[in-house]
Amino acid sequence: MSQLAQYGDMGLVNDLAGINLPIIQGTTPSAPASPNIYWVNTGSGNALNQWNGSAWVTSPAPGTRYLALLTADPVLNGAVYISDAGFVECTTAGYARQTVTFSSATSAYPSASANTNLITYTMSSTMLAPVQWVAMVTSASGTLGWFLASWNLAAGIQVNATQTIQIGIGQLQLQGM
């Protein structure tokens, strides 16, 4: 099962409580006090942006999610955002975040969803540090975007050049509370 990032959890509660009213203006707003706030930028074709806790970033398209391989536990290290020091991502040459898709949530309580695609990572050099955590994020690369959830792999994985790491269909589970 996943661990929802603290920021994602706060955003969901604010959405449920109706606190997240969008800001509609043509200039960059100041930093909001509440997470998960939307800004409709009327000065840029009504582009939709979200506050990620440290910056305004373009909102991800619905369903666009990526998986990052991590060498340290992001929850234990206090990571809330991708840009936090506790979000320690694999740096091996050839590594790149991979797209993931999930099934629609079940109507059962608690609701659940699982990944529907095989995820494959290929390295072009030998890994210097093992990965043991997978994080779901909203950006294909870089530190802007959202850290949404993480999973602990059963054991650390360290591969040689041209070897792959795979995560099977249904191996990543999301469950409501």
Q: What is the DSSP letter of 89?
A: B
**Residue 44: count of CB within 10 angstroms of its CB:** 10
Mean pLDDT score across all residues of the chain: 83
Largest CA distance in the chain: 51
**Segments making up each domain of the chain, as ranges:** 3-172
Mean pLDDT of 68-89: 88
pLDDT of residue 4: 47
Distance between CA atoms of residues 57 and 44, nearest Å = 13
Distance between CA atoms of residues 58 and 60, nearest Å = 6
pTM of the shown model: 0.72
C-alpha radius of gyration, the chain, whole number: 17
Q: Write out pLDDT tens, residues 39-52.
A: 888 998 888 888 87
Residue 32 predicted with pLDDT over 90: no
Cα→Cα distances 34→6, 14, 45, 131, 146, Å: 13, 8, 25, 33, 15
Contact by Cβ (8 Å): 130, 139 = no
